[in-house]
Structure 1
């Protein structure tokens, strides 16, 4: 698959980078997780394989969230503003209705979009997502505050060094080459401040819906320690 042209949608005064691949009969909006970089993802065969598979049955529309990748490096803004970036991308890509695929930190945005624009949502898919990040008595699967703060401290202290893949990709955690490549990739995705901003925003997200949530049990950052 040839690397697609990066285009830009205007969401207010913010430019949101997006790419369109595939030619299937339905539109699929990929709402990325923590950080992303549209162009550099094509350097990773695992991503290319996934995009080719999704594009075999859909018109796949992917974007970099504001503050990350090739979108404007602005402050992360509110969940409502970030959610509306999805609508702006759909408008720019001439997508009237689409299945929304929210990954990890992109889950709350996807949930809110589906609730706000049901007429433009044909389906909602969540992977590794969460309705609420932190533990509370009525949400026992959440992450304790101390563990969450330790993760944010790790971002702050290690953004310039090797990436700790034990959280997001345990099978590669001992592969130095992959760790170094991933560390360089994420530095291109976002600055340390932007990464921390996203992490802190995720702490305060709380959405209540009836939903089915699928996630990889190896994603240790979504598990409450025993």
Structure 2
């Protein structure tokens, strides 16, 4: 959720709690619709896995649209790569890359790594270049794209 700290301040704890419940319910419904698997919540966000990158982008776009109707701006990052499954958690550099990609975004951005864009070629998903970025703690520069509706 973009600007979550300011929203807590303006809504108060009870108002924030209600908003977060609505956010979480909405995200979980869209994850279910697109066969996403919730790994964990991250306070005001989610970590989820999918069986393919196109499905992840479609889910992210649906989450964005559903939450826009509720006036809850979000930014979402999508990356794909090898992860290690430990208990019910996923770990690995791919998780960190997805997080760093998300944090580059502004309100209502669905951002993806070049890796994801290349893998969904032919899917009909459209992108615009978001530039080349240094991701904190990640080697080399990364080309990032914004998924557009």
Q: Is TM (by shorter chain) over 0.5? A: no
TM-score by length of 2: 0.31
Higher strand share: 2
TM-score by length of 1: 0.24
Q: Which has the higher contact order (CA 8 A, sep 6+)?
A: 1
CA radius of gyration, larger in? 1
